[in-house]
Every structure is written in C-alpha cells, then in structure tokens.
C-alpha cells in the first residue's frame, strides 16, 4: 500500500536563512578581505595624494613663470618678517598687503576675489596637510572668529582675516621687520629692502637701491638652478609633521617637482621643532634651521 504523507499546515517546504555559524563564517571572510584590501586602498590613496600634490606644484611653477615674464625675470619668493614661520602667508592683515605666492593675485595671474578664484586657489592647498586644522582649510570661514578664518584670497575688503596656504616658501630672503605701518607692500618693486639669510652664521642686508625689484631671479638662489623654492611641508608645527607617507614634495627653480624621502630631512625637522619649542620662532636659530633644511633638499 502506498501512503501519501502531507505536510503540516504552516510548515516550510524548504530551508530559509542562515545559521549562526554560517553568519559568523561570512563575517569572518568579509573581515579577512577588508584586512587584505585596506593597505592596498591606503597605498592607492597616498599615491593619488602625491600625484595631486606634484600636479599642484607644477601649476604653481607655471604661475611663477608667468610672474617672471611680467616682472623682468624675478620670482616672489621670500618670507614676510623675521621668521620662516610666515613663509606660508598669502595675505597679511597686519601689514595690509599680499605676500609670497599671494602676490600672484595683484599681478592678475590668478583670481582671488572672495570665492571667485576657487579654481586657482585650490592649487595652493595640499590634499594631506590641509586637513590638520580649520585655519588652514581652503576658504574656511568662521563667524565671530576672524582670526581663524582663511578666506581665498583675503584682501583689504576682509579686515582681520589672513590667508594662509599649506605650501611654504624657501626662507632665503625676508623683508624688513618693522613696527606696524612702517612696512610696505613688496609688489612689484621694493620700497623697503630685503635681508639675505643664505649664510647660517650671519645675515646680510642687501644694498639699498631705489626701485630695485625686491625679489631675486630664479637663478639667484643658493644652489643656482637646483634650488628648491616651494614645498608641501608647512612651516607650522601641526603641518610640519603631517606629510605624505614616506616623503615631501618640492618645486625647484628649474620648474621640476619631485618627492623627497622624509628620512632625508627628518634631522632638520627635529631641529626646527626643538628651536621653536625652546625659544621664540622669530629667533635666528629657528630661521637658520629652516634654511638648512631647504639647502639639504637642493642636493637630493
């Protein structure tokens, strides 16, 4: 006799879902894959940041060459004031003038009126060092705290606000440090002279020549046509320790850009940190420590 067995009401005709053991196995596999892929993704992100940074430096080099064409071969590479710490300012509210790479704005090579210069301004912010603190973010605005704002690109119409970049300039020259109101904008020719710090044992005040351009030619730096001019290692302590994994990027006065291993200049970074931790950042020792790091990069 053949007996047909029916299913109970509500009983499932097939298996559904996963057991706890199966779920744990799947989660374990996913975790393993993530652990394998994360380093690769991190390396890819780091490589992309380095590529973007080198691209930024190449574009800055093009801007500087345009400046050269307009102003008889000089480049606006110098440090505002007595310290290399200020080598990343584009506009100084205290002095009411553009400075360093910010001088590309009044030269009409790049745009800087409020937010209209976004396409140009982004070039001056490294994808790694920009993230360290808000006052270095591109076009950062903080209502009620103008000292923390970082508008692109400052200017007299934005009182109380400076514009800071994440790229810094070679501190081979600096403008005279006087009382507020005694300094003048260094664009495009000098009305106050500059001081040369290429010798680490002394400073040399350049001869005062009326209407002398206040900036050097690209070939006039310490190591001739192999001198580093711009780098992504910001002069502030927070950004000085936040570089691309394994190195820093620099623009040279032959308009090439390259990656320099961080170990090649680590001893100089440590010296700069020490000098600025034990004395005012405006001391000669701190400035010279900055300059010696740049000289080391010249010979990489």
Q: What is the mean pLDDT of residues 233-260?
A: 77
Cis bond upstream, residue 153 (ω within 30): yes
What the block records as the tokens of 162 is 């400076």
Residue of 158, 170, 153, 152 lying closest to 233 (CA atoms): 170
Query: For residue 240, what pLDDT is reported?
Result: 63
For the chain, the domains span 42-298
pLDDT confidence tier of residue 14, bands split at 50, 70 and 90: low
Do the beta carbons of residue 152 and residue 91 sit within 8 Å?
Answer: no
**How far is CA 175 from each of CA 84, 185, 260, rounded to the nearest angstrom?**
11, 10, 28
Query: For residue 69, what pLDDT is reported?
Result: 92
Separation between Cα atoms, residue 100 and residue 87, nearest integer Å: 7
The 10s digit of each residue's pLDDT in 89-141 is 888 887 777 888 988 988 889 887 655 567 788 899 887 766 667 777 888 88
Separation between Cα atoms, residue 213 and residue 91, nearest integer Å: 19
Separation between Cα atoms, residue 73 and residue 62, nearest integer Å: 13
Asked if the model's pLDDT at residue 201 lies above 60, the reply is no
Residue of 148, 96, 97, 153 lying closest to 124 (CA atoms): 153
Q: What percent of the chain has pLDDT over 70?
A: 66
pLDDT confidence tier of residue 152, bands split at 50, 70 and 90: confident
3-class DSSP state of 2: coil
Q: What are phi and psi of 194, to 5 degrees?
A: -115, 160
Q: Sheet of 163-164: strands edge to edge?
A: 97-98, 89-92, 163-164
DSSP secondary-structure letter at 172? S
Query: For residue 51, what pLDDT is reported?
Result: 85
Query: For residue 4, what pLDDT is reported?
Result: 47
Backbone dihedral region for residue 25 (phi beyond 0: left; psi -120 to 50: alpha; all else: beta): alpha
Separation between Cα atoms, residue 289 and residue 275, nearest integer Å: 8
Residue of 55, 293, 126, 103 lying closest to 215 (CA atoms): 103
Neighbours of 204 (CB within 10 A): 10
Q: What are phi and psi of 32, to 5 degrees?
A: -65, -45
Residue of 169, 170, 173, 171 lying closest to 205 (CA atoms): 173
DSSP secondary-structure letter at 73? T
Query: For residue 67, what pLDDT is reported?
Result: 92
Please tell me the chain's helix, strand, coil percentages from 3-state DSSP, rounded to the nearest 5.
Answer: 40, 15, 50
């Amino acid at each position: 006799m053949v007996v047909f067995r029916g299913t109970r009401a509500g009983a499932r005709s097939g298996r559904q879902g996963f057991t706890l053991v199966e779920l744990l196995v799947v989660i374990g596999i996913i975790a393993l894959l993530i652990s394998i892929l994360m380093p690769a993704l991190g390396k890819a992100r780091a490589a992309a940041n380095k590529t973007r940074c080198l691209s930024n430096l190449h574009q800055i080099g093009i801007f500087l060459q345009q400046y050269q064409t307009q102003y008889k071969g000089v480049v606006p590479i110098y440090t505002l004031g007595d310290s290399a710490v200020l080598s990343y300012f584009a506009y100084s509210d205290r002095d009411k003038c553009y400075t360093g790479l910010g001088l590309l704005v009044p030269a009409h090579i790049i745009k800087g009126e409020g937010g209209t210069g976004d396409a140009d301004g982004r070039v001056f912010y490294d994808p790694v060092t920009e993230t360290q603190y808000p006052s270095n973010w591109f076009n950062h605005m903080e209502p009620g705290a103008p000292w923390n704002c970082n508008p692109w690109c400052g200017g007299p119409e934005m009182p109380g606000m400076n514009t800071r970049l994440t790229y810094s300039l070679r501190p081979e020259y600096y403008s005279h440090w006087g009382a507020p109101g005694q300094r003048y904008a260094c664009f495009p020719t000098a009305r106050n002279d500059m001081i040369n710090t290429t010798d680490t044992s002394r400073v040399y005040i350049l001869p005062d020549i009326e209407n002398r351009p206040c900036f050097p030619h690209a070939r006039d730096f310490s190591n001739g046509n192999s001198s580093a001019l711009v780098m992504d290692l910001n002069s502030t302590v927070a950004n000085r320790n936040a570089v691309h994994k394994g190195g820093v990027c620099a623009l040279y006065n032959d308009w090439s850009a390259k990656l320099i291993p961080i170990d090649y200049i680590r001893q100089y970074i440590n010296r700069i940190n020490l000098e600025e931790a034990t004395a005012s950042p405006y001391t000669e020792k701190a400035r010279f420590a900055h300059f010696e790091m740049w000289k080391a990069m010249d010979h990489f």
